[in-house]
A and B are shown apart, each in its own frame.
Chain A
Amino acid sequence: MTTTVSARKRRVPEKAMPIVLGGGFLVLVAILWQIAAWAGLVNPFLTSSPVLIAGSLGDQIGSGLLLRSLGTSALELVIGFGMAAIVGVAVGLLMGRYRYVDYVVEPYVWLLYSAPIVALFPLLVLMFGLGSPTVVAITFLMSVIPVIVNSAQGVRNVDPKLIRTAVSFGAGETALLRKVILPASVPTVMAGLRLGVGRGLVGVVVGEFFAGDGGIGYNISFFAGHLGTTEVLASVFVVIVAGVLLNVGARKLESLADSWRTELP
């Protein structure tokens, strides 16, 4: 009772505090939510409950719906974001290196950046048909912008002293690009890819709302149309988990790329 603060042993080590507090908060919210649902304090039609959601997730796994939908959405993301990564890095490098390319492309990048791309879905449906191709197109258009912007910034921020040094030692334009500019801008390019995959996920989910014929986003919209709050929440939960995992993975890759940073042969 009378022990001093310094003498008392801490029950929770400082390192574990974020997990205990952060995780505890989420668990607490879930428990309160469940209790409120049981006690009839909230409208179960609108709010569902953690137990119901878990049950729905179980059903969706059991019926194979979840896996199938995840497969559809993942494929759309991989294709749409994959193309965005290739196109975005190439365009970004050119924009960052050659200012005339920058000037010429700039207005369209800003347009795509601030325009609601999803609003173009009727047009895209006309071009590609309803379903995955249109979702892929939306995903591409949404994720390509941060990749372009960051890649260009990465190139512009390459230490001019390094470029000067390479030129002094006889590097031509190709050698400069491959051996200095590209490796030097890897961290910024990777950050752009991370932002791009995040926006790509938005593109997949929202694209499926409007133009999809399957996938997690389509499920959310479909269940909502049938007033299935529980199923909607279950799908939203899946999207959140996917978003977090994608981000964690992207950050891992980012630090990996930084330590492995190398040049093209």
Chain B
Amino acid sequence: MADITFDQVQISYAGKGEPFVAVNGFEAQVRDGEFVTIVGASGCGKSSVLLAADGLLRPSGGQIRIGEKIVSKPGPDRGVVFQDASLMPWRTILANVAFGLEMQGVDKATRLDRARHFIELVGLAGREEAHPHQLSGGMRQRVGIARALATDPEVLLMDEPFGALDAQTRELMATELLRIWDLDRKTVLFVTHGIDEAVFLADRVLVMGGSPSRVVEVMEIDLPRPRDAAVRASEAFGKYRTHLAELLFGAQAGAAVPS
């Protein structure tokens, strides 16, 4: 019911003269409760696809459906986590997490209660009254996740949420995300340029390529869940990432990826 369908989606940028077609013929389906990652080179339009799924960007062709509903604008059935968290610097953590509920007209006591719950869930209990500038990049991203979860969306859209973090924090956050996701297994579409991250998180990886770009391959990731950091050391994991690197950079690069 909360599956996402991309039906011949085309995305183009208005520019001087002819519009530039970045994405064309993008076909994909994310099943209910599935964790799907999209990887692709920088500028291939993977973030645009995600923002289009939220309704922040209108495709120039095709359609995107959440369940049976055609996406035309942002709605409470979707929650987004942005790359740089995009927290409001003047709001406390609590008020930031409650923002979505506030926009939905939820009364104050209820929304603060829910916000507190999700702050605790992402491991930031005790920091409710802090302001974003007092938190590290990883913590801010946790707040971003809590804010997206607080409205209880059916679908979670994540736009390179860990892209700005250092490698170590990034791995930690990926593990944390899976822990949280495992609680109620929402449908997740997660955009990343990290190969490890894409494999580690996903049930399926959509690989984008070409110009204009589209889905060039779908990789099923058959690794047992729940996963933890140990999965990264497994042989299967190594195979997946080598294959993915080959797809993205060609055969030599795939062989050269260190393990």
What is the chain B residue whose CB lies nearest that of A176? B103
Known: A166-B99, A169-B74, A169-B151. A161 touches B90 (CB 8 A): no
Q: Which of A164, A167, A168, A183 contacts B88 (CB 8 A)?
A: A183
- Do B88 and A161 have beta carbons less than 8 Å apart? no
Q: Is the CB of A263 within 8 A of B54?
A: no
Q: Which residues of B contact A117 (CB under 8 A)?
A: none
Q: Do B74 and A167 touch (CB < 8 A)?
A: yes
CA distance A169 to B96 in the complex (A): 11
Confirm or deny: A130 has a beta carbon within 8 angstroms of a beta carbon on chain B.
no
Check A183 against B86 for contact (C-beta < 8 Å).
no
What is the predominant secondary structure among interface residues of chain A facing chain B?
A: helix
Across the interface, do B75 and A170 meet the contact criterion of CB distance under 8 Å? yes
Q: How far is the CB of A213 from chain B (nearest CB, A)?
A: 45
Q: How far is the CA of A162 from the CA of B82 in the complex (A)?
A: 10
User: In the complex, which residues 44-86 of chain B have their Cβ closer than 8 Å to any Cβ of chain A?
Assistant: 54-56, 74-76, 80, 82, 84, 86
A170 touches B100 (CB 8 A): yes
Q: A170 to chain B: which residues have CB within 8 Å?
A: 74-76, 100, 103-104
Known A-B contacts A170-B100, A170-B104; the reply to A165 vs B76 at CB < 8 A is no
Which residues in window 8-53 of B have CB below 8 A to A? none
Complex Cα distance, B91 from A169, in Å, reads: 15
Annotate A40-71 by CB proximity to B: 1 below 8 A, 0 otherwise.
Answer: 00000000000000000000000000000000
Question: Which of B54, B84, B104 is within 8 Å of A161, CB to CB?
Answer: B84
Is the CB of A261 closer than 8 A to any CB of chain B?
Answer: yes
- With A168-B56, A168-B74 known as contacts, the answer to whether A162 contacts B86 (CB < 8 A) is yes
Q: Which A residues touch B102, using CB under 8 A? A: 179
Residues on A with C-beta less than 8 A from B88 are: 162, 179-180, 183-184
Task: Determine whether the beta carbon of A164 is less than 8 Å from that of B103.
Answer: no
Number of contacts between A and B (CB, 8 Å)?
A: 48
A255 at the interface (CB under 8 A from B): no
Asked if A168 contacts B54 (CB within 8 A), the reply is yes
Contact B100 A261 (CB under 8 A): no
Given the known interface contacts A161-B84, A168-B54, A168-B74, the answer about A262 and B90 at a Cβ–Cβ threshold of 8 Å is: yes
Interface residues of A in 143-187 (CB under 8 A from B): 159, 161-162, 164-171, 175, 179-180, 183-184, 186
| Inter-chain contact B90/A263, CB cutoff 8 Å | yes
Kindly list chain A residues whose C-beta atoms are within 8 Å of the C-beta of B75.
170
A165–B103 alpha-carbon span in the complex (Å): 12
Closest-CB distance, A188 to chain B (whole angstroms): 14
Contacting residues, chain B, for A263 (C-beta < 8 A)? 90-91
CA distance A168 to B104 in the complex (A): 12
From residue 117 to 167 of chain B, which have CB atoms closer than 8 A to chain A? 147, 151
A171 to B147, CA, bound (A): 14
CB-defined contacts of A167 to chain B, threshold 8 Å: 56, 74
Question: Could you tell me the distance between the alpha carbons of A161 and B164 in the complex, rounded to whole angstroms?
Answer: 15
Q: Interface residues, chain A, CB within 8 Å of chain B?
A: 159, 161-162, 164-171, 175, 179-180, 183-184, 186, 261-263
* Distance to closest chain B CB from A40 (angstroms): 62
Give, as a whole number of angstroms, the nearest-CB distance from B68 to chain A.
21
**Measured CA separation A75–B96 after assembly (Å):** 42
- Give the nearest-CB partner of B101 in chain A: A169
For residue B26, give the distance in angstroms from its CB to the closest CB of chain A. Answer: 20
Selected A-B contacts with CB under 8 Å, 8 pairs: A164-B86, A165-B86, A167-B56, A168-B55, A170-B103, A183-B88, A262-B90, A263-B90
Instruction: Return chain A residues, CB-CB under 8 Å to B84.
Output: 161
Contacts of A169 in B (CB 8 A): 74, 99-100, 103, 147, 151
Closest to B55 in A: A168
Contact code string B160-194 (vs A, CB < 8 Å = 1, else 0): 00000000000000000000000000000000000
Please give me the 6 A-B residue pairs with the lowest Cβ-Cβ distance, nearest first: A170-B103, A169-B100, A165-B86, A261-B90, A161-B86, A168-B74
B107 CB, nearest partner CB in chain A, Å: 14
A162–B103 Cα distance when bound, in Å, is 14
Q: Which of A161, A171, A183 makes the CB contact (< 8 A) with B82?
A: A161
Report the minimal beta-carbon distance from B32 to chain A, rounded to whole angstroms. Answer: 22
What residues of A have a CB within 8 angstroms of the CB of B76 in the complex? 170
Once the chains bind, are A168 and B80 in contact (CB under 8 Å)? yes
The answer for the CA separation of A164 and B86 in the assembled complex, in Å, is 9
Contact A171 B103 (CB under 8 A): yes
The CA-CA distance from A167 to B56 in the complex, in Å, is: 8
Given contacts A168-B54, A179-B88, A261-B90, 15 further A-B contacts (CB under 8 A): A159-B86, A161-B82, A162-B86, A164-B56, A165-B82, A167-B74, A168-B74, A169-B74, A169-B147, A170-B103, A175-B103, A179-B99, A183-B90, A184-B90, A263-B91
Complex CA gap A164/B103 in Å reads: 14
